[in-house]
Amino acid sequence: MVQAVGAISPAGRPQTSDPLAGRVVVIDPGHQLGNHNFPAEINRPVPAGGFTKPCNTTGTATNRGYPEATFTWQVSRLLAKRLRGLGATVRMTRDSNRQDRWGPCVDVRGRAGNAIDADLKVSVHADGSYARGARGFHVIVPPDRAPWTDDIAAPSMRLAEALRAGLLGKRFAVASYVAGGDGLDVRSDLGTLNLSDVPTAMVELGNMRSAAEARVMTSPRGRARYARALVAGIREFLG
Share of the chain above pLDDT 90, in %: 92
Question: If pLDDT is split at 50, 70 and 90, which confidence band does 41 have?
Answer: very high
Cα-based distances in Å from 213 to 137, 173, 221: 10, 10, 13
| For residues 44-73, average pLDDT | 98
The answer to whether position 164 is within a domain reads yes
The candidate with the shortest Cα–Cα distance to 140, out of 152, 118, 127, 157, is 157
Is residue 146 a part of any domain in this protein? yes
pLDDT at 15 over 90: no
Q: Considering the domain boundaries, does residue 72 fall inside one?
A: yes
- Please indicate, yes or no, if residue 6 is contained in any of the structural domains: no
What integer pLDDT is reported at residue 75 of this predicted model? 98
pTM above 0.75, yes or no: yes
- HEC profile of the chain: CCCECCCCCCCCCCCCCCCCCCCEEEEEECCCCCHHHCHHHHCCEEECCCCEEECCCCCCECCCCCEHHHHHHHHHHHHHHHHHHCCCEEEECCCCCCCCCCCCCHHHHHHCCCCCCCCEEEEEEEECCCCCCCCCEEEEECCCCCCCCCCCHHHHHHHHHHHHHHHHHCCCCECCCCCCCCCEEECCCCHHHHCCCCCEEEEEEEECCCHHHHHHHCCHHHHHHHHHHHHHHHHHHHC
* 148-200 per-position pLDDT tens digit: 999 999 999 999 999 999 999 999 999 999 989 999 999 999 999 999 999 99
Q: For residues 9-32, give the mean pLDDT.
A: 80
Average pLDDT of every residue of the chain: 94
Q: Quote the number of domains for the chain.
A: 1
Cα–chain center distance at 165: 16
* Residue 6, pLDDT above cutoff 90: no
Q: Per the domain annotation, does 121 fall within a domain?
A: yes
Residues assigned a catalytic role: 204
Residue 69 falls inside a structural domain: yes
Q: Is residue 182 part of a domain?
A: yes
Whether residue 53 lies inside any domain: the answer is yes
pLDDT at 9 over 50: no
How confident is the model over 119-153, as pLDDT tens digits? 999 999 999 999 999 999 999 999 999 999 999 99
Reported as a pLDDT band with limits 50, 70 and 90, residue 16 is: low
Nearest to 129 by CA among 73, 191, 175: 175
Give the residue numbers spanning the domain of 155. 24-238
Residue 223 belongs to domain with CATH number: 3.40.630.40
C-alpha span between 57 and 157 (Å, rounded): 25
Tally Cβ neighbours within 10 Å of residue 218: 16
Under 8 Å CB-to-CB from 65, ≥6 apart: which residues? none
Instruction: Read off the pLDDT band of 7 (50, 70, 90).
Output: very low
